[in-house]
């Protein structure tokens, strides 16, 4: 065992058998034969890599995840909001096979045709003409790149004073240094030591954790922290905060855009988890009617292999000469082929439409659960096919991460797979199925979650 307590028990337990169109549980869980693999992982990996429900995934197709022992989970995780067009979508499998057959596995930044196709596709979904696309491998890298572009923008146009990056409390932008400096969870950046005055955070106007949703709070908070608008080179925000998912009020988002324009600060939207159809639009910022200068993409951009991108106004993206904004695996052929197939499929199919069509069913289903458990389901947030229920100490707004974990684990035993709860303190049960999930599968998942809540909270 690792040096930290396990989140989920590895002791196999008898659980009721389940056999429906979308779930099949026919063994003890975790499956006794799978336990040695978890133990091996604990022996050879740091504990930080543990902490997800103990399914040993053998294969994943569409909105189902299978193990080797006949169990099948209804997948409400999509990995972690990765596989927007479903797990192992055949169009992606074909694109990868085609690239393997050539064969072409690595290119650095030598040109290949698929990269040109991807860049053009990405620019095609930008909010206005005149954007450019730069491909990378991870969401954190995309955010680091946005930080670098923003700092360069401030430096070159105004001088070294214009270097402050404003982001939001409870924000998450990845686990690398810059991304964590921009993050809004103090616990996650303790390791960085004394703060960097070039990064400041302001309250996010979510309306629940912070009931004050006025844009004036943004201005007041900057003033309190001694930040002059003239020194701000960028404002960075997730289009919805993953911890909720929490959305900006429309008026706030629009005021923020105007403020950025007035102060020549770049508006950077982190779409790593929000983009590629998750909320029923290509990008979640479209709900606010704004046009960011920089857009960080990841996860659902490929629905599969590691790929990320920064999509930005050409003027911002053209700040560096050839060879100075690259990465070894920029445009790696397999992830790029996957992303091209993914974006073409998102355009061809009814994924965004389905996310919009099921918006009400998901929200109403969760609100119904909340009505049954008003003292424990503190807040329900939902848009398109991303949702969250924040579990609280009875009758309060204080997070109850242990109870959230218990509900999440109960769902796992019933054949409904979600990643471990997220949120400020691990209190948020997060829901993110594939964008083409059928209505009956979604409703079955809602019923299953409801049963788990009823059993946990009586």
Cα–Cα distance measured from residue 370 to residue 55, given in angstroms and rounded to the nearest whole number: 28
Contact call for residues 333 and 106 (beta carbons, < 8 A):
yes
Closer residue to ligand PLP, CB minimum distance, 272 or 417: 272
Of 396, 395, 404, give the one whose Cα is nearest residue 425: 404
Closer residue to ligand PLP, CB minimum distance, 77 or 273: 273
- Give the residues across from 416 on adjacent strands: 74
State in angstroms the smallest separation of the CB of 140 from ligand PLP: 3
State in angstroms the smallest separation of the CB of 339 from ligand PLP: 14
Closer residue to ligand PLP, CB minimum distance, 147 or 272: 272
Closer residue to ligand PLP, CB minimum distance, 238 or 436: 238
- Tell me the C-alpha to C-alpha distance, in Å, between residue 405 and each of 48, 113, 115, 338: 17, 46, 41, 33
Closer residue to ligand PLP, CB minimum distance, 27 or 84: 84
State in angstroms the smallest separation of the CB of 179 from ligand PLP: 6
Closer residue to ligand PLP, CB minimum distance, 82 or 391: 82
- Tell me the C-alpha to C-alpha distance, in Å, between residue 412 and each of 175, 258, 321, 385: 27, 45, 51, 20
Closer residue to ligand PLP, CB minimum distance, 139 or 178: 139
Q: Which spans of this chain sit near ligand PLP (rule: CB under 6 A)?
A: 138-140, 143, 172-174, 238, 242, 270, 272-273, 298
Closer residue to ligand PLP, CB minimum distance, 172 or 282: 172
State in angstroms the smallest separation of the CB of 174 from ligand PLP: 3
Closer residue to ligand PLP, CB minimum distance, 178 or 378: 178
Half-sphere exposure in the Cβ direction for 408 (13 Å, CA): 30
Pairing of strands 377-383, 308-313: unpaired
For ligand PLP, which residue has the nearest CB? 139
- Tell me the C-alpha to C-alpha distance, in Å, between residue 278 and each of 163, 252, 436: 32, 22, 11
Kindly give, in sequence order, each residue whose CB lies less than 8 Å from that of residue 247, ignoring residues fewer than 6 positions away.
206, 239, 240, 284, 287, 381, 383
State in angstroms the smallest separation of the CB of 190 from ligand PLP: 19
Closer residue to ligand PLP, CB minimum distance, 31 or 424: 424
Closer residue to ligand PLP, CB minimum distance, 181 or 441: 181
Pairing of strands 24-25, 18-19: antiparallel
CB atoms within 10 A of CB 159: 11
State in angstroms the smallest separation of the CB of 93 from ligand PLP: 22
Helices (H), 87-189: 90-101, 113-124, 139-158, 177-182
Q: Which position has the token pair 């030591």?
A: 193
Helices (H), 306-350: 314-317, 333-348
Name the CA radius of gyration of the chain, rounded.
Answer: 22
State in angstroms the smallest separation of the CB of 255 from ligand PLP: 22
- Sheet containing 428-431: order of strands: 377-383, 386-391, 428-431
Contact call for residues 377 and 453 (beta carbons, < 8 A):
yes
Contact call for residues 308 and 51 (beta carbons, < 8 A):
no
State in angstroms the smallest separation of the CB of 27 from ligand PLP: 31
Of 73, 75, 64, give the one whose Cα is nearest residue 29: 73
**Kind plus residue range of the DSSP H or E element containing 160:** none
Closer residue to ligand PLP, CB minimum distance, 139 or 280: 139
State in angstroms the smallest separation of the CB of 176 from ligand PLP: 7
State in angstroms the smallest separation of the CB of 183 from ligand PLP: 9
State in angstroms the smallest separation of the CB of 214 from ligand PLP: 24
State in angstroms the smallest separation of the CB of 223 from ligand PLP: 27
**Terminal alpha carbon distance of the chain:** 34
- Give the residues across from 199 on adjacent strands: 165
Of 176, 112, 189, 114, give the one whose Cα is nearest residue 140: 176
- 3-state class of 452 per DSSP? helix
């Amino acid at each position: 065992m690792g040096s930290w307590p396990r989140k989920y028990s590895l002791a196999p337990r008898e659980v009721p058998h389940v056999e429906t169109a979308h779930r099949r549980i026919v063994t003890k869980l975790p499956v006794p034969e799978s336990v040695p693999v978890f133990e091996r992982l604990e022996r050879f990996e740091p504990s930080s890599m543990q902490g997800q429900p103990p399914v040993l995934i053998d294969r994943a197709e569409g909105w189902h995840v299978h193990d080797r022992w006949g169990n099948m989970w209804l997948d409400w995780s999509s990995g972690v909001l990765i596989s927007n067009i479903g797990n192992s979508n055949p169009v992606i499998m074909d694109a990868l096979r085609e690239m393997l057959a050539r064969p072409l596995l690595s290119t650095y930044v030598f040109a290949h045709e698929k990269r040109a196709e991807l860049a053009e596709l990405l620019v095609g979904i930008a909010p206005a003409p005149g954007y450019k696309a730069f491909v990378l491998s991870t969401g954190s890298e995309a955010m680091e790149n946005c930080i670098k572009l923003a700092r360069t923008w401030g430096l070159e146009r105004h001088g070294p004073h214009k270097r402050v990056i404003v982001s939001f409390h409870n924000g998450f932008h990845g686990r690398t240094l810059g991304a964590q400096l921009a993050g809004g969870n103090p616990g996650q950046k303790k390791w960085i030591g004394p703060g960097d005055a070039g990064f400041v955070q302001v309250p996010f106007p979510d309306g629940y954790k912070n009931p004050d949703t006025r844009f004036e709070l943004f201005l007041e908070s900057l003033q309190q922290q001694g930040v002059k608008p003239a020194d701000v080179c960028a404002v960075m925000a997730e289009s919805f905060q993953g911890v909720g998912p929490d959305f900006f009020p429309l008026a706030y988002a629009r005021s923020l855009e105007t403020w950025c324009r007035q102060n020549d600060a770049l508006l950077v939207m982190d779409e790593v988890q929000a983009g590629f159809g998750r909320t029923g639009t290509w990008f979640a910022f479209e709900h606010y009617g704004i046009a960011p200068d920089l857009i960080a993409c990841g996860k659902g951009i490929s629905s599969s292999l590691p790929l990320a991108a920064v999509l930005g106004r050409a003027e911002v993206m053209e700040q560096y000469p050839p060879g100075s904004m690259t990465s070894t695996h920029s445009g790696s052929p397999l992830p790029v082929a996957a992303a091209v197939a993914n974006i073409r499929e998102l355009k061809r199919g009814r994924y965004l439409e389905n996310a919009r069509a099921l918006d009400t069913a998901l929200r109403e289903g969760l609100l119904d659960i909340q009505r049954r458990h008003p003292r424990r389901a503190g807040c329900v947030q939902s848009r398109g096919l991303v949702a969250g229920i924040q579990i609280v100490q009875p009758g309060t707004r204080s997070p109850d991460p242990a109870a959230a974990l218990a509900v999440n684990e109960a769902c796992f035993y019933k054949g409904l797979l979600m990643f471990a709860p997220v949120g400020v303190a691990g209190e948020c049960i997060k829901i993110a199925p594939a964008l083409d999930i059928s209505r009956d599968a979604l409703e079955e998942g809602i019923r299953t979650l409801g049963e788990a809540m009823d059993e946990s909270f009586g």
